[in-house]
Amino acid sequence: MSSRIGVFIISAPSGSGKSTLVHRLLANHDDLIFSISYTTRAPRGQEKDGVDYHFVSRRDFETMMLAGEFLEHAEVFGNYYGTHRGVSLDRALREGKDLVLDIDVQGARQLKIALPDAVSVFVLPPSRQILEDRLRARSQDSDEVIQRRLRGAAEEVKNYSQYDYVLINRDIEQSTAKLESIVMAERLRRDRMDEEVQPILDSFEQ
């Protein structure tokens, strides 16, 4: 098992294609683990407990929050979301796999404090109009909810400069390839290659 894993934070306004990108990334790389967030909101569409989110009551979430069990947590549109300290991170460490987190701007800010080496990627839609079109195409939300999400997106996109990478999701295939490139480039950083390099250096000492 590697003594050091990578942590990748993916953030984006709702409807930017973030979830699709993350699913494609995970499908192509079995050496990545997805951090399943806890939330107090109800499941949407075909979402399943323990697969898309851990769905818990507000009371249970607040109990865990007060006990310091979350690496990060935030309240978004009246619902809590959080990354449990022991579940995903401990599993990634045990298995020596990199961890991918799908979290919002508030959570990303907290997580960068807890894990300063985490790599952050902000996914942007090509424009506000395209974002609105994508939200309406999902047919999951009322017009009131869509307008609320657009107002939230207008605030979220202002935070893009806090991230290490920015990915404009114009085309899902190209964006997936770019996200994979970010992961691969980070894995080749010198400080992550030390364990593999040292035996090579040792061989030259013979």
Quote the pLDDT of residue 28: 94
For residue 91, what are its two tokens? 């599993």
For residue 173, what are its two tokens? 């295939």
Quote the pLDDT of residue 5: 85
For residues 17 and 159, what is the distance between their CA atoms, to the nearest angstrom?
18
Give 47's DSSP letter.
Answer: -
Backbone angles phi, psi at 82, to 5 degrees: -160, 155
Residue spans of the chain under pLDDT 50 = 1-3
Contact between 114 and 121 under an 8 Å Cβ cutoff? The reply is no
- Nearest CA to 136 among 126, 125, 146, 148? 146
Helix (H) or strand (E) holding 89: helix 88-95
Quote the pLDDT of residue 38: 95
Q: Which residue has the tokens 């460490």?
A: 93
For residues 108 and 11, what is the distance between their CA atoms, to the nearest angstrom?
7
Quote the pLDDT of residue 186: 94
The CATH code that applies to domain 7-201 is 3.40.50.300
Contact between 9 and 117 under an 8 Å Cβ cutoff? The reply is no
Quote the pLDDT of residue 45: 81
Quote the pLDDT of residue 166: 96
- Nearest CA to 99 among 202, 183, 189, 200? 183
**Residue 180 — left, alpha, or beta (φ > 0 → left; ψ -120 to 50 → alpha)?**
alpha
For residues 204 and 117, what is the distance between their CA atoms, to the nearest angstrom?
31
Contact between 137 and 15 under an 8 Å Cβ cutoff? The reply is no
Question: What is the distance of C-alpha 5 from the center of its chain?
Answer: 15
How do the residues of the chain divide into helix, strand and coil, expressed in percent and rounded to 5?
50, 20, 30
Quote the pLDDT of residue 154: 92
Give 17's DSSP letter.
Answer: S
